[in-house]
Structures are given as structure tokens and as C-alpha cells.
Structure 1
């Protein structure tokens, strides 16, 4: 039994009856991407190994038959266990891509999960295997606006300075010191000496100039970070000066953004051969796997892990992430980590299409229609943390009155036309969208549900298709910078869906935000902007997601950083004596 055989079995399974199936030879030529001669050779090979009895079709064009010895369910179970025993991760992933009943995969999830978590072998050292449920979009810092990809860039590169969340201040990183002019228009940074890129070239000021120039001469949705820069120059090998078109006291916080990690000037950027100064370097990237290896010459403490592997597993194939240790008993007394995500899920309105969405009464009706507590109850979920803000510690309960929906719709310009509702193609997002469709139908609203991949957020035509969209925002460890970015990043929904009048008002508040002398003042501005969004129903705040993860108790130094992700630089496990 091998993957070629399993591919055929998965293809033919939907038409099987009592372990017998009819087929025509040209079908297997397409399934196996081979010639008629090779199909016959493979059928003979599998028959001789006892997997089935082959009954050729008699006469031209007549179907052949296969009589299988074991059920497909039994074969899947046997094959998966064989692959796990041989630690053939790549083959397991391939198998999960086949058209196999989801229930079977769920039954095997415990066995499959033993491939994940911490592993140790002589060749690779300490390895953490983790799961991602989708294809990566892009790892080019110019265009990355998705949390996982930003997190990976953070592992591969370093910024000039870092934001210290606990102290609420900026601390040195690639730059060990900096000075700023009295008018906040000229910033000078002094670089550490001896910092190495992954290809062993030393970092200098020219690499900093190259990184920012690359941004300035691109069509990046993150261009707001560099728009104020009129000149960046390397005064010496280890001194860099930025000149801004206008004063910006918040500019230093901009420089902590992961996408502004410094790149080498001597080689063209290639996201499949990522070169930075970060604690991990890119070892391998394929459609199924991304592997990071610890950078032994990192200028700060080397990571305690030797390698981290991210494997693409179809959504729903495995339960929630559980990090165990290879060779140790699965612990019943796991350490559970639960945290409310800093960010929120939303239902955003598109003000660039001439639909009923433009009507305040219609938006108010949708506000009362989308009762998150009712949604979660009917979807069989735990009670949600309802949102009225980006930040869960600011959010307050929002009152919903289903009794006013009909009257608001009658007052609105809505006349039964189709309203295009979009969501990401994740199971939970689809469930939420379908709930809204059902709820809308009760009041005569014709929502048409469309799904989209995460890559579609980079599609320039999205605004021409969407009326409402279910989406989310997640903060980095600098919450206030994340709030600012959500309105300035051209790939995100606020900048794309709000109209010019509302954005102009918000932009004026954000300009004051940059000049605020205290965090408390910036929070007051955030509250004012969010009150404006709610009063105009520019979007609906829905809920704050909760992340739950469990770890084997021997896994040490579990800390979380930006976007609620694990800090890979500190994880370790003690050696068993």
C-alpha cells in the first residue's frame, strides 16, 4: 500500500458498493497522471500484493472492476498508523489532502497528533512541529497584512527598535541608541556592530537605507509607515539618519513594525530564500511545510529550540492545538492556556456600492438583527465576549431589540434586493455567515453568502463585489500602534470600505493621536473614534475570540507575544535523565 494506491482508492470510493467499484482505464490515467501502459502495470502490482482482484472490462469501452479485500476505512487506518510509526510526516499530510470521510480522520486525530509537538532526534535536535490550517499568503514584508505571516517575518528579521509592552516604551534592538531633533522631524540611529545576516554578511547602515528605499518605491499597503520620509542616509557604516517631511513624534513606534525588519542590500529579496538577521532562518518552504532553523550567530540569545516546523493540515482534521513531547507519556495534567484575543470580529459595511447599505436605517436594522449571544447559542458555542471596541477591556454590552427590525427596514431604502455577504472560507466564519443569512430571511432580507480565501483581501476588486463582510482584526503587542495601523493599512477593511467623509474625520483624530503626550490621552482618542464608528454604524463590533491551548507540563517558558502567538525564542524542554 502506498500513496499512489490510496489516491486511486479515495477517487473511486464514492461509487463503491460492497467493496467493489467499476471504472474505465482512462480515469486512472488522469488520477495517476500516467500512460495506459503504466496504469496496467500498477494494477498488476497492486493485485499481486493482494489489495484487490482486478476484473478487466470485456470489449472496447466497457468498464473494468476492482474487488477490494479490505474496506477503505480499514486501509486508511492501517496506512496512517504505518506512516506514523515511520515518522513520515510528508506522506500523512498528503493523505489528509485526499477525499477521505472527515469522520475517519477525526477518529485518527489522536494518532496523527503524536507527530506534532516536541520531537528530538540526533540529526535535527529539539524540534517543535506545529499546525497551520491554510496556505500562506506572502512573506514579503511589503505586502504582509495577515497575522501569521507577520509573526513568521518576526522570527526571520529584526527591527531597529522594539516596543516594550510592560514598560510602555521603546527599547534598543538593532539600533543601540538614537537621538531626535526638537521638532521630531530628524531621527538618527546608531547601529550595533557585528550583527550578521543569515548569509553571514554584516549589517550596516546601507542595509537600513536599502530596506526603507524598497518600501518607498513600492505600492505597498503599508506605505503609510514611510510616507513621511523624504530622505534616509547612511552617515557611516553604523549611523543612519531619517529626515521627515513633517514632524511625527510617533515615528519611533512605526519602526517597531515587523514589516520594517532590515533586509540585506547585496541580494534581491526572495520570500522562498528569506534572508534577515532574525533568531530563526528559513530552512525549507513548500506547499505543505515551512521549516525554521535556529540561527547560531544571532546577535542576542540563540533560541533554545533547534528547529520549528509548520505543517499545513486541512481545517477540522485535528482538534485544538495540544503540545506534547515525543517519547513522553501524554500527560493527563496538561497546562491549559486561555486568553482573550486582543482584537475583534466585525461585520463591516461597504460604502462604495450604491446599495441599501448606504441607508442608516438599514444599517441600524442589521445591528439589531446580528445578536451575537443568540448566534452563539444557536450555533452551540460557549457564551461570547461581546465587543463594542477593538479592545476587550473597553467593550461594553450592546443592547439588541429585535422588535424594531421590521420598522427600520420599512423606513429604509431596502426593497428585497440581493445583499452580497462575504466571509472567509473558515468553518466558523461560514457558520456565522449562514446564521446571518437565516436570520435575515425571517425579515425578508435576501443575503447572498459568498466565501473568500485570506489571499482575496489583497484583491483590488473586492470593494466592487462586497456589501457586507465578516472579518477580524488582531493586535500586535503594541495595541495602540495596531489601532493606528487598522485605519492606515490600505489592505485592511477600514481604509477600503469607509467613505471619504468618515475617513477624513477619523484621520483628523489620528493626527492628534500621534501628538498625544500620554497613553491615557491616546486611549481617550480611541474611545472617541469608536463612538463615532458606532453612532454612524460604519461597522458592527461582534465579539472577542478566545484562544485555548494545552501544553505538556514539561514544556518550559511558555510565553505569548504579538498576535497571541507563542514566543518561539524561549520555549524549551529539560533533558530526561
Structure 2
């Protein structure tokens, strides 16, 4: 252990002692604190004195106390040691050092860590190795594709696994992936997929049709699997030969190839027990480490669609920091303006109600009172930012009746969808800005609300918590009492973290396939929205989505899903507030930086362009990826 770490460890044992304040102690007591011998303690103390860190006046004799005085602030020594570790590429040791310090000091050290994130290019014995380091402050609970409901977990699953089909968001079509082709009968009840030859799993065995059968048997045989409703129409699966698999359905499903592109449909090997934190797939990266500090993805050279350029991806779990994101992003590009990639997220922020719990939220008048209070336009006027826009739907491009402020491209998209559809679209009801409080008060009086305090679970984050402070103040004006309870969405999804709350304020991030995302939010049981619903609404949503997938024309399917959203808004079970966009920033040398589904980067495309004649030495290319 470096002598500075001894100093840090000793200083932490005297938290209430100020610098330049005398401490009366013995060598034996100090040795116990550092878990060393008295002889070693004397050697360590001499080094402290040489560095000018302490003044030490030893006293000899039984029962006599020596005088110790700390001369240098703990943060000064910790910062120097932290910097030395980072410069020596000992990031894990720097991480452990930061984790031992009080949170205020931890914030200062995190500022020094910012240069360690991004893409680092190193020359070594094996040639050039490109490593992408990403900070994260929310641990991964599961990487089982059939369970995960979290944004960051999906990022990892995307790189570790493949599916039979992939959705091309740029062309808006399903394309071959593990399956090179597929076909169905005229009724949409039998679907046959033909696999590529020679696709290896990360553990070396070649993928075959039995792996596909195993993957979906695992889902449909387990009634508690949260993604089972997505594939509930599967009646049987047959592996004809090594490369052919046929699905027989109990009803027509013309959206079946789209469902095969879902993260939940990632193909697993049948000969390896699924480890939810260390899974094996066929994807461009294989997972080689996953613990409380670090997740590592190594490039899979035998990937069937071609080797990825980035050799290694490290996702670092930062020590808890209230300002982690802003600290890493702040001054990440001191020498030049970064290239910014803005991605408008499909989905958005919304409020819903805990229908699993008894309370006034079961009264539609109460829910509509809340709907009036949570007026999207007024919220945007009061607290909007450049990255948000008032929204009246989770579908980007839908507009409120008599609401002209929508981008031209979005408006044209929605207009085109409406013109091509063979259904009547119910406009989203406009909320009156002038009378929303009065309407809310009238609805509240007609409801079963009796003046009790209600708990509002809000997803942790500065913006969303500020939204709910504004909302609670609006509620107070009409006699509705709200207690705000910020919560971790990981805890909410996997440990029923908002079961005691009445109202829920959260968000949903869709991928590029809007129809699939809508079916998923209404049927995948690990979405926050569906966790909040009771059995009646879960059944209603599952039944309606079951009817939607039987429709052959995509435009008509979209129309039915829009009508379903309209019904939820009319019932005041879904209260959209705003859409948002993420901004990724990266160094100019990083090329083909594309933001794919869920607002995450497509690592398979990313590459580094070095300047001609540049020295072959270690280089750092900053990149900011909003992964949490």
C-alpha cells in the first residue's frame, strides 16, 4: 500500500478532528487502526513526517500519550493519490479509493475521472487496442433478455445477443439476422425461419434450430415469464433440421417477424444454463467480466456479420454521486467543440396510477382531476427545457387538437400515417389552460377522494423531481395532498418498489420500431406501466394487442394501437407530459457515430480516424454516452 493510502486510512479514523488540531494517542492505538505492527507504524509515521503531512511528538513510558497533528487536508492527499492512479491506468484502484471517501470529497475526485471515459486507443504487444469506457451509476440487475426492462441493460443485451430478425430503423423494415429468410402460410398461423450456416455462440458451439426451439420453449412454458404474453400465440415449435424451425400459432399473427426482432426474442444456447448476470449469445461482443464495479465486453472476432472495430467496452459503476452525470460531462471536451448527435427519443415521460392498491385512483373522476392538474402545456411553460417538448402521446409526431407547435417532419409523418390508415382517428383531447385548475377542483369534488395524503413515486432525477414539486403545489391549490417519494426504477421494476404509492411519474423509452414498442409496453409485464396496472387492465391490454397482431396491414395495426392509447388517455390511466431528446457528444476522430434504438450508440459502426502521420502512441478520444 502506498504511504498516501496509509495517511488517507488513518485520517478517516479521525473524522471529527480538524487539521492543525492536536490528537493525543499512542503508537499502539494507531497501529491497530492501520492493522499493522508498532514497528511498521513507526516507519509509516516517519514517512508522514518526511512528506510534511503530520507533526508527531512521541512520548515514552507506560500510559503516556503522544501528540499527533494532521497538517495537510485529507482531500489534498487523496486527490494526488487518485491522480497518480489514473495516470498509471489503474482506474479500478482509483475507483476503490474514491469509494472509501465521504461523498463531498468523492464529488471532487469524480471531476478528475472524466478524462478516463470515452474511447482510448493504446499500442501494445498485440497491436492497437481500442477501449470504450462508459460511466454508469445504476447497477445491472439482470441481463436475461426475457426479464430486463431497463434502458442500460438493453444496451448490453443488444451487443451480447442476436435475434432471428433485426429491425432497420432507417428503412423501417424487418431484415434478416440469424435467420436468412422466413415465410408464412396465407393465414399467418405457421411461420418458418431458415437459419444462416455456421454462426458460433461465444462458447464455441454452432447455432442450430434446436437453440431457437429451446429459447422460445423456455418462454412459453413458464407462465410467470414477463414476456410470455408477447409470444402467447405460439402453440408449438418444431426443428425440421439443423437450419429450419417452424412455429405453429393458435391464431393468425401477421406481426410475428416483428416480435422476433424484440430484445426478448434473443437466442440462447440450449447447452448452457442461463446466468442472468453472465449470459452467452452470438453477438458482436462477449461478456468477460461483471461485478459490482465493472462490466467488460470483449470483441467477438468470429461474429457472423463482421468483426466490430472497438475491441473492448467497459461500463464502470461509479461510486454513488448525486452529480455523477454532470461531473463526467462537464469540460469533457476542453480543447475543441465536440460533435453533437441529438436523438429524439420515441416514448416519453408520463404519469399513471397504482391500480394494484386500493384508493381514489380507481375513480375516473379523481384520475381526470389529476389529468387536468398535470397539464402538459402548463408544465412545459413553467419548467420546460431545450431538450423537452410538451407531448400528448407516447408516439412521437402525434399532436394535440388545435396544437400547431410540432416539427414539420413529425407533422408530415403523422399526416401520412393518418391518410394511409383505414380507420377513424380520435383526436387527443385538448386540455384548457385557462380552466384546468377549476376543472380539476370540480372533478375532485365529484370523486371519492376524502382529503387523505397520497404518495407519489417519481423516478429519481433532477428534472422529473422538479416536475413533481410543481405538480404537488398545483394539487395543494385545490386541496389534494401529495407526498413526493423519489425512487430507483431498477428497484421499482424488480422489487415492486412503488407498491405503497398511489401515483407514479416515470418515462418509457421506445426503440425505432414504434408498433413493437407499443405492443411491448402493453404486454411485457416488466414495464413500469404494466406493473402499475391491475389484473383487469392487464387482461384488457393483452386481449387488445392479441387482436392487433391479427391485422395484416401495418397501417391498420398502428391505427388500432393509437386507438388503444386514446382509450387509456380518455380513461386517464396514461397521462403523457413531454417527449425528450438525448444529446451524445464525441470527438471529431470518432466516425460513423450513429444513435440506434433506445437512444443508444450502434457500436458495430463506430471507428476511429487518425490524422495522417500521427504518432503511434496512446490516444484518448472523448465521448459522452447518456447510458443512465
Cα drift, residue 477 of structure 1: 2.2
Gaps of 5+ in 1: none
The alignment partner of 1:545 has SS state of: strand
Residue matched to 1:173 = 177
Does 2:512 correspond to 1:477? yes
Does 2:561 correspond to 1:560? no
Residue matched to 2:117 = 116
Cα drift, residue 338 of structure 1: 1.8
Superimposed CA distance per residue, residues 273-328 of structure 1 (whole angstroms, 9 cap, x where no aligned partner): 42211101112112111111111111111101111111112452342765999xxx
Q: TM-score, normalised by structure 1?
A: 0.88
Which deviates more from structure 2 when the two are superposed, residues 41-50 or residues 401-410? Answer: 41-50
The alignment partner of 2:186 has SS state of: coil
- Paired residues in the alignment total 567
Which deviates more from structure 2 when the two are superposed, residues 152-161 or residues 409-418? Answer: 409-418
In structure 2, what is the Cα distance between the partners aligned to 1:240 and 1:60?
A: 84
Q: Is the 8 A contact 1:118 1:324 kept in 2?
A: no
In structure 1, what is the Cα distance between the partners aligned to 2:263 and 2:13?
A: 44
Residue of structure 2 aligned with 1:346, choices 338, 350, 353: 350
Residue of structure 2 aligned with 1:518, choices 553, 570, 580: 553
Does 2:397 correspond to 1:362? no
In structure 1, what is the Cα distance between the partners aligned to 2:41 and 2:217?
A: 59
Gaps of 5+ in 2: 404-429, 614-628
Residue matched to 1:317 = 324
In structure 2, what is the Cα distance between the partners aligned to 1:471 and 1:41?
A: 58
Q: Is the 8 A contact 2:338 2:588 kept in 1?
A: yes
Aligned pairs (5 A) from 1:220-369: 220-313=225-318, 314-315=320-321, 316-319=323-326, 330-369=334-373
Superimposed CA distance per residue, residues 33-76 of structure 1 (whole angstroms, 9 cap, x where no aligned partner): x8885386786565332143468999999999853221233223
Does 2:539 correspond to 1:495? no
Aligned pairs (5 A) from 1:1-150: 1-3=3-5, 5-6=7-8, 9=11, 12-13=14-15, 15-18=16-19, 20=21, 38=36, 44=42, 46-50=44-48, 51-53=53-55, 67-102=69-104, 111-123=112-124, 125-150=129-154
In structure 1, what is the Cα distance between the partners aligned to 2:346 and 2:67?
A: 57
Cα drift, residue 17 of structure 1: 2.8
* Shift in alpha-carbon separation, 1:57–1:223, aligned structure 2, 3 A: farther
In structure 2, what is the Cα distance between the partners aligned to 1:225 and 1:409?
A: 37
Cα drift, residue 535 of structure 1: 1.4
* Shift in alpha-carbon separation, 1:230–1:10, aligned structure 2, 3 A: farther
* Shift in alpha-carbon separation, 1:308–1:370, aligned structure 2, 3 A: same
Q: Is the 8 A contact 2:169 2:597 kept in 1?
A: no
CA RMSD of aligned residues (A): 3.4
* Shift in alpha-carbon separation, 1:273–1:511, aligned structure 2, 3 A: closer
Cα drift, residue 431 of structure 1: 3.7
Higher RCO (CA-CA < 8 Å; seq separation 6+): 2
Q: Is the 8 A contact 2:200 2:207 kept in 1?
A: yes
In structure 1, what is the Cα distance between the partners aligned to 2:192 and 2:463?
A: 47
Q: Is the 8 A contact 1:138 1:144 kept in 2?
A: yes
Superimposed CA distance per residue, residues 429-462 of structure 1 (whole angstroms, 9 cap, x where no aligned partner): 4444444344433443322233332332344655
In structure 2, what is the Cα distance between the partners aligned to 1:197 and 1:510?
A: 33
Residue matched to 2:166 = 162
Cα drift, residue 233 of structure 1: 2.1
Cα drift, residue 238 of structure 1: 1.2
In structure 2, what is the Cα distance between the partners aligned to 1:277 and 1:7?
A: 45
Residue of structure 1 aligned with 2:502, choices 444, 467, 479: 467
Residue matched to 2:190 = 186
Superimposed CA distance per residue, residues 389-438 of structure 1 (whole angstroms, 9 cap, x where no aligned partner): 11221143553423433333333222221212112344444444444344
Cα drift, residue 247 of structure 1: 2.1
